[in-house]
Chains A and B, each alone.
Chain A
Amino acid sequence: QKEVEQNSGPLSVPEGAIASLNCTYSDRVSQSFFWYRQYSGKSPELIMSIYSNGDKEDGRFTAQLNKASQYVSLLIRDSQPSDSATYLCAVNIGLSARQLTFGSGTQLTVLP
């Protein structure tokens, strides 16, 4: 089992719809979770971080964390074509890891 798993997609949604991206992680004691967006040929860009159970909202983005289920998700409301990118889930695995462990990413396409 990989330490961080994502649905590889690709995921296509129509413009204006809600895009839902999911991620599971292996180590129950992990405490820091991040969503990065990566446009083709570019480097990862942080869009959300979440550390506590529940929801965290920032504009059109909502991150959801459920530590009991070892599950973190990202919702994108009112999806725009400019949201088309690969979304990477990243976790500081365990209690003391400084490095991030990434999932393989979910490719999202928002259709005009």
Chain B
Amino acid sequence: GAGVSQTPSNKVTEKGKYVELRCDPISGHTALYWYRQSLGQGPEFLIYFQGTGAADDSGLPNDRFFAVRPEGSVSTLKIQRTERGDSAVYLCASSLRGLGYQETQYFGPGTRLLVL
């Protein structure tokens, strides 16, 4: 069906608060990726899911960040005790099988997070 969708499109929160960002991948795509993009930089990898499991979470900056994908489709990125440095655009992408090699990742519109 449609492309990758993300909600909310914008989120403003206060330092110390908890936020959840949601990603709905392309139907049928088994692999889902979260990236974070700061102004003037390319996206940086956070975590990758193959089905329901987090296959690689090496990009998560610290234990305040956590993500789930309980049914192998929609994913939620959770940030506890937000800090001003967490302000960025959080991008979600999906791909058909998550093979890496010769496989295209399709990006959602992103969630702009601003921590005041």
Contacts and interface: CB of A to CB of B under 8 A. Distances in A.
Interface of A: 4, 31-32, 34, 36, 42-46, 49, 51, 88, 90, 92, 96-105
Contacts, number: 65
A46 B107 CA distance: 9
B1 to A, nearest CB: 18
B56 A99 contact: yes
Interface string B22-44: 00000000010101000011111
Interface string B66-110: 000000000000000000000000010000001111111111111
Interface of B: 31, 33, 35, 40-45, 48, 50, 55-56, 59, 91, 98-110
B43 A102 contact: yes
B100 A92 contact: yes
Contacts of B99: 98
A104 B45 contact: no
A4 B91 CA distance: 19
A1 B100 CA distance: 23
